Each structure stands twice: as C-alpha cells, then as structure tokens.
Amino acid sequence: MKKKTAKTAASPSFQTPKGMKDVLPEDWPALERVASVARSVAEYYNFLRIDTPIMEQADLFSRGVGLGTDIVEKEMYTLATKGGDKLALRPEYTAPMMRSYIQHGMSHLPQPRRLWYTGPVFRHENPQLMRYRQFSQFGLEVLGSADPVFDAEVIIAFYRLLEELKIKGVSIEVNSIGCKNCQPAYKRKLADYYRKQNVCEDCKARIETNPLRLFDCKNPECQPLKQSAPVILDNLCSSCRSHFRQVLEYLDEVKIPYVLNPRLVRGLDYYNRTVFETFVEGETAALASGGRYDYLAEMIGGRSTPAVGGAAGIERIAEVMKAKGVVPASKTKGKVFLIHVGEMSKKKSLSLAEEFHRAGVPVVNELSKESLSSQMELAAKNNSPLVLIFGQKESYEDSIIIRDMESGVQEVVPLSKVVEEVKKRLR
C-alpha cells in the first residue's frame, strides 16, 4: 500500500498562472519611476492621454494586425460572450487606438492627434526573462499626418525616455519597408530568393503569406540566408526614399544616434515605411519599437489615415534599470512616528493620527507593538525626524512628548497644540 505524501505548509495550493507575475513591493520603485518619466515625456511632447477597453472584438486584431502574425495565430487570448461575440484580451494598443480614432470622429478635430497611453496587454507566448504573458506598455501615437517629422519625433521621444531614466548604451535601429507601391515587387523578389533555399517550416509558410516576416525567423539554420537576401533599401520607390531620407535628417539634426538595419521589418502587417527598434547594450530584447502604419485605418474599415507610433514595455525597462543599478533611492522623508504605551493611549492615538492626516502631516504608528523600546527601534529604522511618545501618564493629562531624533531633545506639549507644533518643526 502506497504511503500518502503529506502536503507541506511551504507548498501552496495555488500559484500565479504560467507566464504571469506578482508585482511585489520591492518592484514598485523602478516601475513607478518608469511610469512617472513616461508621463513627463509624453506631456512634454504635447501628447494627450487616452485609454481603451482591456477587451476588443477579436476581428479588430485579425484584420488590423494580420491573420498570419504570431500575435493573432498563437498569442491572443480570446473568449466568446453569452451573446456570441468573440472578444480578445488586448494584445497590443495600436489597432485599438485607431479604432477609437475612427469611432469618435477624431479626424474632424485639428490634425494630427497626438495620443499616449499606458496599461496592461496580454500575449500567450513562451514566458522568459523580462517577457510575461501580462505586461504593461507605454505608447505614443501620432494620427492624421504623413509628415516624416513625426516619425522622427516618436523615435526621439523614446530615446529621451531612456535617457531620462539614466540608461546608458542605448542604440536605435531604423529601416524603411516601403509602401504599397514599392513593397509588392520587393516581396516577390524576396519570396523568389527564399524559394530556392532550404528553410524551416515556418519560413515556408511566410513565403506565401508575408515574405517580409522571413527576417523575423529565429531558427539558426535560416540566419545565414538573411545576409544574401535582397535589400529593401535598394528597392524603395522615390517617394519612400525621400520620406526615409527626411526622417534620418531630422534625427541627425538633434544628434540622435542610430544605425541602419535593412533587415528590420517588425512582425505586424500594418507597418509601412519607417520602422524602428531601441536596444540597450547587453540586452537582446528591444525596449521600445514601432513605426509608420498609414494603411491600418482602411484595414479596419475607416478612411485613409496616415499615422506613426511606438510602444515600450514598462516592466522590461524597469528590469534593465535594476540590472544597471539606476533605480533612484527613495527621497521621501521619514514620517513622524507616533508611539503609544498602554491601552488608553493606543485607543486615543487612532483619533490623533486622523487629526494629523486631516492637517496633511504624514504620521506612522505601529499598533501591533506594545513596548516603548520596540517602537523606538522602528522609528529609527523609519528615519523619522520626530517621534511622538503618548504614554499612560500623557493620556490622562492630555499631553504628549515630542522627541527630536537628531538632537535627542524632547519636550512635553499639550495634546491640543501638538499638530501645529509638529507642523512648525517640520518646516
């Protein structure tokens, strides 16, 4: 007879789903720093905040992102409602942004519309370092203009974001993948080249669906083939060449460092012309990426609307900051520490703490501790500039002791005047 193995207390019944991650208290300083700087950059460049629902109609992504893309084929979380609608958890923001632009008639407002967003997205992909199935994105979108200056501005804004976060070794890769006039001929040329090669099964499918995505293949056997493949920059029409040249001239004007990568294509069907990815030295995953998508509006049923944008993974940037030691130390001053000694003072300290709260004075008290010494130790660890000692004697006399932790000097003051006295000392 088999022995039953007892479940230990250290083995919880439930854990986070595969690819999901708890955001613990120690994770927040870096995440909040990224979010704060992202908002600051967006507002500096005059982008306006927008958000979309966490779920959209699944067809929005099938038509906009592309049926043959990894996002639609392999990574979308979909569900059917009781009414029969097929919805998808948002795997990316660009298609929802354009849907919102069309739905709310933003084309009738002054153009272009500069929009920024931040929020969770979901992709069912293999979890790995800095890549989870739920993660947060920060993005910038410029809708309603074909001017190459906006391609450059989006790239510049993401470079400034990483610069403000003190991340060193940033490099930007840029390319142009052409337009509907020159891209089809290049795709045929690329497909013809790959049909003569021995390629993996995924690449065989991509030859027929979207040859540009052949450059996305990660199979080691297919890597050498990219070096001899036809180059897109040699096959651009005059309009695309002019557009790309102007983008690079704008980047040069503000001395943003970049490298040309003629094999950079991005993996989504809606991209055309400028595409970019931003990397940091020592990391293989892009921190920010994007490009122009002039045909997306038509793909999802709207009028022709030129647009360009990009997005960055907030958790990914935060992890890089921690790895490179650029998470700023907290500058928050320690709160005033309120110590109670005895049951009566413990009860009264609750209402006293509320008085400080209403006056805008930050106060912390540890109600689970009873001894004076243990609470004093916590006050020291908290870097509290002032400690308020409220004992049995003080609670009967309606007084309290104020102790300056730096000088060690303490003074008894009436309870009715303690809030004003503390405010005066903190000035």
Q: What is the DSSP secondary-structure string of 217-270? A: ---GGGHHHHHTSPPGGGG--HHHHHHHHHHHHHHHHTT---EE-TT---S-TT
Is 331 contained in some domain?
A: no
| Domain co-membership, 250 together with 350 | no
Are 383 and 269 in the same domain? Answer: no
Beta bridge partners of 277: 173, 289
pTM for the complete prediction? 0.84
Cis ω before 112 (30° cut-off from 0): yes
Look at the chain and report how many structural domains it folds into: 2
DSSP bridge partners of 276: 174, 290
Whose tokens are 């080691």? That residue is 220
Q: Are residues 358 and 312 in the same domain?
A: no
AA letter at 272 = N
Q: Which two tokens stand for residue 175?
A: 């390319």
Consecutive 10-residue runs of the chain (427 residues): their mean pLDDT?
A: 50 84 89 95 96 93 70 78 90 94 95 96 78 91 96 97 93 94 92 89 86 86 88 94 97 94 84 94 88 94 95 93 82 77 87 90 84 86 88 89 90 92 88
Query: How far is residue 52's CA from residue 284's CA, in Å, rounded to a whole number?
Result: 30
Q: Are residues 394 and 279 in the same domain?
A: no
Q: Which of 323, 357, 379 is the last residue of a domain?
A: 323
**Statement to judge: residues 390 and 287 lie in one domain:** no
- Kind and range of the H or E element at 339? strand 336-340
From 302, 323, 344, give the residue that closes a domain.
Answer: 323
Residue 1 has a pLDDT of 47
Q: Are residues 416 and 363 in the same domain?
A: yes
Residue 19 to residues 71, 169, 192: CA-CA distances in angstroms?
16, 29, 38
Q: Is residue 307 part of a domain?
A: yes
Is 203 within a domain?
Answer: no
Are 288 and 162 contacting, i.e. CB atoms less than 8 angstroms apart?
yes
Question: Do 246 and 392 reside in the same domain of the chain?
Answer: no
Residues 248 and 282 reside in one and the same domain? yes
Strand order across the beta sheet in which 336-340 lies: 363-364, 336-340, 386-390, 399-404, 410-414
* Phi-psi label, residue 105: left if phi above 0, alpha if psi -120 to 50, beta otherwise: left
**Predicted local confidence at residue 74, as pLDDT:** 66
Pair 33, 321: CB distance under 8 Å: yes
- Cα–Cα distance between 39 and 84 in angstroms, integer? 38
d(CA 285, CA 327): 20
Q: What is the CATH number of the domain that holds 35?
A: 3.30.930.10
pLDDT given at position 130 = 66
pLDDT of residue 330: 60
Q: State the DSSP code for 92.
A: -
281 CB-side CA count, 13 A? 5
* Separation of first and last alpha carbons in the chain: 74
Question: For the CA atoms of 315, 176, 95, 305, what is the dihedral angle to 10 degrees?
Answer: 140
Which pLDDT value is given to residue 215? 87
CATH code of 365's domain: 3.40.50.800
Residue 2 lies in a domain: no
Domain of residue 317: give its range: 25-182+236-323
